[in-house]
Chains A and B, each alone.
Chain A
Amino acid sequence: MLRLFTLAAFAIAMAASLPLRAQTDSLTPLQDALQTVQSSVASPSRATVPAVLRALLDADAPGTVDFLRAWGDREVYERPEDGLFFYATDAANRMLALIDIDTGTEIATVSTREVNQIRPNAGVRREIGAALVSFELLHPDADRRLAALENIARSPDADQIEALTAARVAEEDSRIAARMDRLLDLLNARFATDPAVRVDAIEGLRGDISTEARRVLNQILQTRAEFAPEIPEGTNVARIREPGVDIDLTAAYGTLSEAGLAPARPGRNTIRDALRTNVVDGAVGGIPVHQLNTDEMRRAAYAALQAEGVVAPLVTEADMRAAVSEVVFYDAYLEPDRAVTDAARDALDSTRTRISLWQFVSISLDALSLASIFFLAAIGLAITFGVMRVINMAHGEFIMMGAYTGYVVQTVIPNYTTSLIVALPLAFAVTFAAGVAMERLVIRHLYTRPLETLLATFGISIALQQLAKNIFGTQARPLTAPDWLAGAIQVNDVVSVASIRVAIFVMAIGFLLMLLYILNRTRLGLEVRAVTQNPGMAASMGINPDRINMLTFGLGSGIAGVAGVSIGLVAQVTSEMGANYIVQSFMTVVVGGVGSVFGTLAGATLIGFLQKGIEWFNPANTLAAQTFMVLFIILFIQFRPKGIVALKGRAAGD
């Protein structure tokens, strides 16, 4: 209480001194302030610490905090001849280099005998430590106060409660005050001496889903497995374990024998080793060695040895049961107070529902982000596949091409934002050109043979992949997002979304709108739709299907290039990155329904949510999630062979 009072006084003095603070002209303000309380600094005691603090506070010299820390850590030295204080570092020949506490410059080298090291005792050091915390907590700069609070949150300690309580009284900033209240609850829940205060604090944490609150609650609820003939008075039992039900019988017996309360049970290996050491004339207990290749014979031989009294007796299951029934196995809370643990359990339970809810939100956001990546990767494919019935196996390589374009631009333009702005249209242009070239040179000749398009484009795909490997090497190339996309949007401790994923989502939406506009509101879109529905009729209406096919293919490829840039920002750019997306993209298109933008959207959403959903059940295993997803898609095709959004009527063609 006395300390609390001192600190409170300190705090009030500090608050009062704020307006009165004046700049001293002295070059050594800290030394000057210390000299006013010279004897208290040189031979500190608990009673004199407050005076020193007050003096330091009044002076408000720079380096005060460092001095306090050094003082507590026994790093301050006094020169007896003039009573000045110094820091010191070891110099050559067991000498000390004295450092001026104000300027931090080395001023002299002295032998250890010429200065006195100031050695505050444990009580004083604790006092100084608390003062240090208060000093920071009461600092006029709000950021410094917040930083001090975060320090406390990182390494919570019973001693900090007083300083924090005092600081809370003086705090005026409501944001910081709220944080202080939270920290006080966290500290009180764990360290307060009065159970009522603890329960109160725990109540304050009810429904709090932050990790720090849950960590505190879980710490309070830590248990230890114990056993005793009877549960001792005053034990805070978490649960009682029934041997054979809640705890394995052998394991229970094992703990007993480990504690020396029961003879050890010879296991299979023990029996074998015992037999091995007791072989006499090629037999053990009268049984020839070569017959000892079953457990029954071994046990029989062991029983014979046991009858001779050579080995420890076998322990049967009945023996184990009997031994175990003598005692009670239970888990006890480390925390002895029942009221506290009950309150903590209550508080923790109350967070559970909210956490699951937020987790659901988090997974949905993940799924949405995955879906937008799938959508970006697949939409170009959907256009070419839908309009031209052409499977483009090199689509993945167009994605790769886009990503490498982004990488090359980044090596030329060092500014990440500018390079990204340049890379996006450039990637579109590069892959658009590649797509048009491919359409002109290869695909045009194969319109009547769709399966062979698949093969020819696959040939292009492996050639492009190997070319990329030859040019850029096998190691992954970075495509760095600009700083403003690097962070994450932290909703709370459960939900956070990387900004880059939000950007990709926005881009996916942008592409969706752009495509819808192009297809539904422009001349090109009209012609594309006409060719999709009936190429022959479209041609007779004066539309040139060759030209439309070429443009469509270019558009699809160009979108793949842009998708490549955005995928490169979240994944690594390698020559194989396209191959990783191609199968998924096909499935997105097929599940969604060929030839429809909304179908692809639905397909991507379904696959994204499905994959994240399966991952949620089995978080450690993304491979399993992908396996099940593919199986699901195979089954899905059974029931809706034309995908979610099936074209009807003549447009469905075949």
Chain B
Amino acid sequence: MSLDIPRSTPAPAKVRRSFLHENPSVLWFIGLLGLFTVAVTVLSEGFGIGMISTNLVKVLGMTLCLCLIAIAMDVVWGYCGILSLGHFAFFGLGGYAIGMWLMYARTEIVIRDSLGRGTIPPTELEVSEAVAAQIFGVVGSSELPLIWTFAGSLPFQLAMVVLVPGLLALVFGWLAFRSRVTGVYLSILTQAMTLALSLYLFQNDTGLRGNNGLSGLQNIPGFLHVPQSVLSVWFFWASACALGAGYLLFAWVVSGKFGSVIRAIRDNEARVRFLGYNVEGYKLFVFTITAVISGIAGALYYPQAGIINPAEIAPIASIYLAVWVAIGGRGRLYGAVIGAAFVSLLSSWLTGGGAPNINLGFYRIVWTDWWLVLLGLGFVAVTLFFPKGIGGVFDYLVRKKP
């Protein structure tokens, strides 16, 4: 059985109509996302009346990236039944890949500028040595590691954003699926992969600056003169476009025959195999494509965050990802978006000191202390009582309509 998206469907025009017709949520979603983007742009400091601070624009842009990876997680878990605890690692890898270019190129510009002021222009070797010393001085090294060889090339690093997570997912998935590791075992195995990766990145001598991570990523080489208020809106647009495109892509992937097969795998893998489908191939495809999308989401996220370090990749991050999707509602793409946006915005509101503390007289509830308790228990409650998550509310609304 090939992995191809079914081509034997009727004429394209009819397909598109039926695709959108069957998935009204796609139009709704794209429309709302567009409205939201316009609203944020109009209210932003860089392009509008300045009601939304640059920082908030960045937070919103980052949230869109988290929504994108949440959709990917929803496809791999909610639709295909693979509870991957490793997708945030792919997200981080994408961030590292783009971060290497951002950091290298910006340092190179600064170094060329300062060396160029001398009486004699610098040689290429001098430039790269100075860049290396600048970047790696913090881990006590002054040599450029091998993996940074092409860090100065944007196309190469952009390719890495897609290739590194994609290849890692492909190899790992191939190994895991071919030995029929399923269910909780697979979850633990993906968690082990994430742990190994973060431990690896934590080492100083692996060439990615150990626990210092990559920093200063908010400065985009070539646009150093552009103020952050404008850059942040640009990234917001890029994140919104990526989210819209990702939503469209995944909505298309999970509809139609392919979607039916992966849902069937989720519900009863053995039966699908007996029907003659190449279950491993389907799973591998879903696992890899979602990893690639995660990498892209990471590449958009970290320039807005400004810093990436191995702690971001720690296994706990991937579990939070699962929490978002579960709270939002599995098996529906907009559920994942709602979950990710709701939980991450609520989290930054409560832990960022935005929420007022509650004085009970005998005890003062400080939200920074109690937010995780609330999240944990809320999560248990959602799992126990609302397996459909917040997205389940829409079912209720839709059903009420005549």
- Seen from chain A, the residues whose Cβ lies within 8 Å of a Cβ on chain B are 268, 272, 275-276, 279, 284, 289-290, 292-295, 298, 389, 391, 393, 442, 445-446, 449-452, 454-456, 458-467, 469-470, 579, 583, 586-587, 590, 621, 623-624, 626-627, 630-631, 633-635, 637-639, 641
Contacts and interface: CB of A to CB of B under 8 A. Distances in A.
Contacts of B216: none
Given A459-B380, A634-B172, 15 more contacts: A272-B126, A293-B120, A449-B387, A454-B187, A455-B379, A459-B378, A463-B375, A466-B376, A470-B370, A586-B191, A623-B202, A627-B203, A633-B192, A634-B192, A641-B181
A391 B184 CA distance: 7
Contacts of A626: 195-196, 199
A452 B189 contact: no
B384 A445 contact: yes
Interface in B123-146: 123-126
Contacts of A624: 200, 203
28 contacts: A276-B119, A279-B120, A284-B120, A293-B124, A295-B123, A295-B125, A389-B184, A442-B384, A452-B326, A454-B187, A455-B379, A456-B379, A456-B380, A459-B380, A462-B375, A465-B372, A466-B370, A470-B373, A583-B192, A590-B185, A624-B200, A627-B203, A630-B192, A633-B192, A634-B196, A635-B175, A637-B189, A638-B175
Contact of A627 (B126, B191, B200, B326): B200
A462 B372 contact: yes
A275 B199 contact: no
Interface in B213-245: none
Contact of A587 (B176, B188, B205): B188
A304 B121 CA distance: 18
A454 B183 CA distance: 11
B184 to A, nearest CB: 5
B379 A459 contact: yes
Given A583-B315, A630-B192, A460 B384 contact: no
B177 to A, nearest CB: 11
B123 A454 contact: no
B122 interface: yes
A174 B40 CA distance: 89
Interface residues of B, number: 52
A203 to B, nearest CB: 44
A512 B236 CA distance: 57
Interface string B282-293: 000000000000
A292 B121 contact: yes
B65 interface: no
B400 to A, nearest CB: 27
Contacts of B384: 442, 445-446, 456
A155 B176 CA distance: 61
Nearest to A269: B126
Nearest to A638: B179
Interface stretch (B13-21, B147-155, B316-324): B316-324
A469 B370 CA distance: 10
Contacts of A450: 183-184
A466 B372 contact: yes
A623 to B, nearest CB: 5
A280 to B, nearest CB: 11
**For chain B, what secondary structure do more than half of its interface residues adopt (helix, strand, loop), or is it mixed?**
helix
The residue among B119, B322, B370 with the most chain A CB atoms within 10 A of its own CB is B119
Closest CB pairs A-B (n = 8): A463-B376, A459-B379, A630-B196, A466-B372, A462-B376, A293-B121, A459-B380, A456-B383
B199 A630 contact: yes
The residue among A275, A461, A462, A633 with the most chain B CB atoms within 10 A of its own CB is A462
Nearest to B316: A579
Contacts of B176: 637
Contacts of B183: 450-451
Interface of B: 83, 118-126, 172, 175-176, 179-181, 183-185, 187-189, 191-193, 195-196, 199-200, 202-203, 205, 315-316, 319, 322-323, 326, 369-373, 375-380, 383-384, 387
B28 to A, nearest CB: 28
A583 B188 CA distance: 8
A433 B184 CA distance: 26
Contacts of A449: 387
Given A455-B383, A456-B380, A637 B369 contact: no
Contacts of B126: 268, 272
Contacts of B118: 276
A449 B383 CA distance: 10
A641 B178 CA distance: 11
A623 B181 contact: no
Contacts of B121: 289-290, 292-293
A639 to B, nearest CB: 8
B120 A292 contact: yes
Nearest to A462: B376
Contacts of B316: 579
The residue among A446, A466, A623, A638 with the most chain B CB atoms within 10 A of its own CB is A623
A466 B367 CA distance: 12
Contacts of B195: 583, 626, 630
Contacts of B83: 451, 454
A621 B191 contact: no
A108 to B, nearest CB: 62
Nearest to A390: B184
A268 B192 CA distance: 47
A36 B384 CA distance: 97
B379 A637 contact: no
B120 A621 contact: no
B331 to A, nearest CB: 13
A590 B188 contact: yes
A627 B195 CA distance: 8
Contacts of A621: 203, 205
A630 B193 contact: yes
Contacts of B125: 268, 295
B21 to A, nearest CB: 33
Given A276-B120, A279-B119, A293-B123, A623 B192 contact: no
B108 to A, nearest CB: 14
Contacts of A637: 176, 179, 181, 185, 189
B199 A460 contact: no
B273 to A, nearest CB: 14
The residue among B125, B192, B193, B369 with the most chain A CB atoms within 10 A of its own CB is B192
B213 to A, nearest CB: 15
Contacts of B315: 583
Contacts of A295: 123, 125
B193 A623 contact: no
Contacts of B199: 623, 626-627, 630
Nearest to A594: B185
Given A623-B202, A627-B196, A459 B323 contact: yes
B355 to A, nearest CB: 16
Contact of A452 (B180, B376, B377, B383): B383
Contact of A451 (B184, B370, B379): B184
The residue among A289, A459, A590, A626 with the most chain B CB atoms within 10 A of its own CB is A459
Nearest to B375: A462
B196 A631 contact: yes
Contacts of A290: 121
The residue among B188, B326, B377, B387 with the most chain A CB atoms within 10 A of its own CB is B188
A634 B372 contact: no
B316 to A, nearest CB: 7
B338 to A, nearest CB: 17
A335 to B, nearest CB: 36
Given A583-B315, A637-B189, A455 B326 contact: yes
B189 A446 contact: no
B16 to A, nearest CB: 35
A176 B205 CA distance: 50
A294 to B, nearest CB: 6
Contacts of B124: 293-294
B373 A466 contact: yes
The residue among A445, A455, A464, A470 with the most chain B CB atoms within 10 A of its own CB is A455
